[in-house]
Amino acid sequence: KNWQYADAAAKRSKTAADTKQFLKHSEKFGKRTSGLKMATDRMSSEESEQIDELSIDTLKSYTKKATAAKEKNWQYADAAAKRSKTPADTKQFLKHSEKFGKRTAGIKKAADKMSSEEE
């Protein structure tokens, strides 16, 4: 946004006030750019540890809650399919069917992780 302000002031630049506005916004833009560069450099140089493992209790809890949500999405999709008189009903059916599929995949993935950790 500051660059847009600076650019507009540069295009106008008929008065000293326009030049002053240009310099002000250009300086702000430069500071923000350097600040972003410092932040990204700091983030990339820091060693960040990513946690990939979840406890068995967390996976069980997810499976239980996701199963309930999956069944609810199936009910919504089924109701929309039965109505299916308008494009909105079809859209609702597709939305809930997609959620159902994603929940099913998530539950399967959690079950696979639980079985591999128990071995």
Question: What are the pLDDT digits (tens) for 58-105?
Answer: 999 999 999 999 999 889 888 888 887 888 888 888 888 999 999 999
Portion of the chain with pLDDT greater than 90, in percent = 24
Q: What are phi and psi of 35, to 5 degrees?
A: -65, -40
**Which residue carries 């560069």 as its tokens?**
37
d(CA 23, CA 42): 28
Give CA separation, 33 vs 19, 83, 101, 110, in Å. Answer: 21, 54, 43, 42
Mean of pLDDT over the chain: 80
> Are 97 and 76 in contact, with CB atoms under 8 Å apart?
no
d(CA 58, CA 52): 13
